[in-house]
Amino acid sequence: MNFKLPVTTSRLCLKRESLNDFERFFEMSKDPEVMKYIGDGSIYHWTLNVALAKFRAGLMCSTEIEPGNLAVYTNHSECYIGCCGIRYSKFLDHIELGYRYCSDAWGNGFATEAAAALLEATYQMTNIDRILACTHPGNIASIRVLEKIGFIRFDTKYSRASGQDILIYEICRQTFYPVTGC
C-alpha cells in the first residue's frame, strides 16, 4: 500500500497515530464495553508502561507502504475518537479492515464514515483488489458498519481467543461504491 495522509471527510480526519493518541487509546482499551467483542473480550491487562512500550513499537512499524492503524479525529473538536486501519492480518492471512472507537463516540456514524473513506483511499492509491474484515457474531453494530459500506459475509473462522467462530466479510474493488452521506 502507498498512502497519502491524512484521509479526510467532512467530519473526520484519519492520520498517523502519534504518542499524543496514547492516553485516549489506553483508556479505550481499558473500557469493558469497547473490548467486549475483541479477542477474548477482556480489557487490556497491561500496565501503563507495558502498553506504552507496545504502542510505541506499533508506531515504529508504521510506514508509507503500510501505515497501520490510523488515528481518527473529529474535525470540529480535534478529539481522538478511535482508530481505523487496513493492514495484513495473521489471523486471516490477508489484508484486513479493522477499527475500534471510544464508547463516547459510538452512535454517530463515525465508524462507517471512516471505514468508507479509508476503503476509497485504499482502492484509489493501491492495487489491492480484495479486503477482508472479521467480527464477533454478537457485535451487531460492527456487522451493520461492514454491511452498510458494502462488505458481504462469506465465511467464518474459529478464533481460539473468543472460543467461537468469527464472521468473515469481504469487499472487492469491483463492488465497492463510495458511501456518501454516512
Distance CA 181, CA 160 (A): 38
Residue type at position 132: L
Domain borders along the chain are 7-175
Distance CA 107, CA 113 (A): 12
Cell of 54: 507496545
Residue pointed to by grid coordinates 467530519: 11
DSSP line for 3-28:
--S-EE-SSEEEEE--GGGHHHHHHH
- pTM (predicted TM-score): 0.90
For residue 14, report the phi and psi dihedrals to the nearest 5 degrees.
-105, 120
Mean pLDDT value across the chain? 90
Which CATH number is 7-175 given? Answer: 3.40.630.30
| pLDDT tens sequence across 121-155 | 999 988 999 999 999 999 999 999 999 999 999 99
